[in-house]
Structure 1
Amino acid sequence: MKIAIIPKDERDKRFVNALKSKGAEVTIIAQNFISAKFDAQFKFTCFNKGRNFRYVARHIKAYANLEGINLLNFDLIFLRQNEILSEKDKFIFDTIEILENEGMNVINPTEGIRTSKDKYLGYYYLKKNGINIPETYTSNNEMSTYFQILKSKSKDNKDKFVFKPMSGKGGIGIVITCEKSTAGDILSMFALNNKVAIFQKFIKNNKDMRIIVVGDEVIGGIERIAGKGMHKNGISTGGKAVAFKVSDELKEISVKASKALKCKISGVDIIEDKESNNYRVLEVNCSPAFDGFQRATKINVYEKIADYLIKECKK
């Protein structure tokens, strides 16, 4: 079994040991050394030696005669990289999408990554598949969003408003306020940076849940409890992780949400809405971090995912 990993960061090297211990041949693909050639046939290669121009310049003769690794020779590509911030990032995703069209098994599929990274599309597909989400409004006209805020009503006039960028990670860019005038200033900042704000009704709860889905299985869950004086529950924003037993209802919601966004491995964030007495999906993360989850649950996520990837190779 030949498995290639396109990592998100250095922590993803832990997958290498887990996969190798199960007999897989593993290659980490350097993201900036992928090439494509359209000639008599398609050819997609990667070079795994060196990561910058200076290194290549010092070894120019070796590189000039190097054929590279044929990406189509892998049984599976494990795609953890999920950011499309530049044209080079887009090239990686376009290449992987082409490989999918050529029959390559890619996990997560590019469609799942693109959809889950776009909160606007993500909320649409969640809602389309009958999954509860927070009350959501968005527009590429900030005044339209502001009028929606002015029309919002609450019993005690103390509702908080949540603003999220269409794409982001780790809670970066999420702003919460209870002042309508401040909400207007926030929208102005989004507009000045040519960003579209997603406006949601704040759900009162000092904790939410991160549930890890691998294929059709939930392998565990943590409650993420907000730090003192904080409104964000994420571990990356100071929240505390506590393991809990995932109910059958939450398992069903999590797997359904992951599939709705075409993800095969995901971290599904869910909050309990005590006012309406139901659960709402906040986000489906296509490349979740596992450190906090693993410390809290004592579940070896890397081993679980390695087992799943090998099973997928054999299909």
Structure 2
Amino acid sequence: MRIVTFNPFRTLGMPNVTYIKPENMLMEMDKIKEADYILFPEYWQVNTLVYGLKKKIFPNISTYQLGHNKVETTRVLQAIFPKNIPYTQITSKDRINIETIEEEFGYPLVAKEIKSSMGRGVFLVENREELKSYIETNESIYIQEKLPIDRDIRIVYVGDKVIGAYWRIAGEGQFHNNIAKGATYDYDNVPKEAIELVENVAKELNINHAGFDVVVVDNRLYILEYNVMFGNEGLRNMGISVEKYIYEYISRDPDFTPINPTFPRAS
């Protein structure tokens, strides 16, 4: 069977994979049409591949669409899992009322840019001037309650199961729990209830490749967001190969018969 990837770094070691640069999609249309699976297209390619060319893609289209930005993710969680999402208001720059936000949230509060990752675009807002500054630079306004946390749990779901989970602990006095912002890993005592929540969410929403960020407050679980293109360093520290799980998952597709069904062993 033929596999095309648009991201070689996320498919390292997979057999029978052809890499095509995303910008060359139209020039490589014959290879794409012949492929049995398309891996890691960029978002702008997804509709053409799925609806135009009728191709199977990984991650699947619901994963891409619901994880496209924080607004899409939050709105579906508010509708389907309302008890597991922090109190959040999403509005536009021209409709926001600062007095209402202050009354509902108080300070500090959390403000986010709708497309960001690794802690970038997530701000701790402690007064009106900081809130005004955030509003001035964002057309879409995303305000969330500030939870009393110093860590979160990154839970990675690939295919049809959780493949790894670990704590990310913020540095002393720091706001962000992201490793890119100086947080550290802890692999012990991840609550099974958090893993079960992610499994339920992923299955209900048909998500098959995501890193979920979950926090625990007063024995209650909250999902902050999920990232389709999550970092793999924490999993590599656990000896987990995401690529192996992806290949095994697509190999179980009843319409997919790999030429070499054995994933290569690490040398």
- Please report the TM-score for the alignment, with normalisation by the length of structure 2: 0.85
How many equivalent residue pairs? 255
The 3-state SS of whatever aligns with 1:117 is coil
- 5+ long unaligned stretches in structure 2: 258-267
Partner of 1:81: 42
**TM-score under structure 1 length normalisation:** 0.73
2:261 aligned residue: none
Alpha-carbon deviation of 1:273?
A: 1.7
Is 1:230 aligned to residue 221 of structure 2?
no
**Counterpart of 2:260?**
none
Secondary structure of residue in 2 paired with 1:287:
coil
Amino acid paired to 1:309: I
> 2-side partners of 1:118 and 1:262: how far apart?
17
Pair 1:93 & 2:54 matched: no
* 2:229 corresponding residue in structure 1: 287
Matched, 1:299 2:240: yes
Larger radius of gyration: 1
| Aligned equivalent of 2:99 | 147
Q: 1:145 to 1:133 in 2, by over 3 A?
A: farther
CA RMSD, Structure 1 to Structure 2 (Å): 2.3
What runs of 5+ residues in structure 1 fail to find an aligned partner?
Answer: 36-44, 47-67, 83-89
The answer to whether structure 1 residue 114 and structure 2 residue 65 are counterparts is yes
* 2:21 corresponds to 1:30: yes
Contact in 2 for aligned 1:220/1:246 (Cα 8 Å): no
SS of residue matched to 2:171:
coil
Equivalent of residue 116 in structure 2, options 163, 168, 191: 168
Match of 1:2 in 2: 2
> Given the superposition, is the C-alpha separation of residues 142 and 233 from structure 1 closer, same or farther in structure 2, using an over 3 Å criterion?
farther
Question: 1:128 aligns to what?
Answer: 79
Cα distance, 1:119–1:259 mapped onto 2, change above 3 Å? farther
Query: 1:214·1:265 contact (CA, 8 Å) conserved in 2?
Result: yes
Shift of 1:185: 2.4
Q: Secondary structure at the match of 2:153?
A: strand
- Distance in 1, Cα, partners of 2:189 & 2:38: 32
CA distance in 1, matches of 2:222, 2:170: 17
Question: CA deviation digits over 1:84-141, x for unaligned, max 9?
Answer: xxxxxx3x233223356x2x22111233212212211211111222251110001113
Describe how 1:198-213 pairs up with structure 2 within 5 A. 198-213=142-157
**Alignment check: 8 A CA contact 2:90 2:142 kept:** yes
1:209 aligned counterpart, secondary structure: strand
Counterpart of 1:223, as a letter, is W
User: Partners of 1:245 and 1:303 in 2: how far apart?
Assistant: 25
CA distance in 1, matches of 2:90, 2:97: 6
- Supply the AA of the counterpart residue of 2:101: I
Kindly tell me: are residues 128 and 2 of structure 1, through their superposed partners in 2, closer, same or farther at Cα, counting changes over 3 Å? same
- In the alignment, the residues of structure 1 paired with residue 252 and residue 196 of structure 2 have an alpha-carbon distance, to the nearest angstrom, of 22
Give the share of equivalent positions with the same residue, in percent: 21
**Which whole-Å CA distance do the structure 1 matches of 2:196 and 2:212 have between them?**
11
Residue 237 of structure 1 deviates from its aligned partner by 1.7
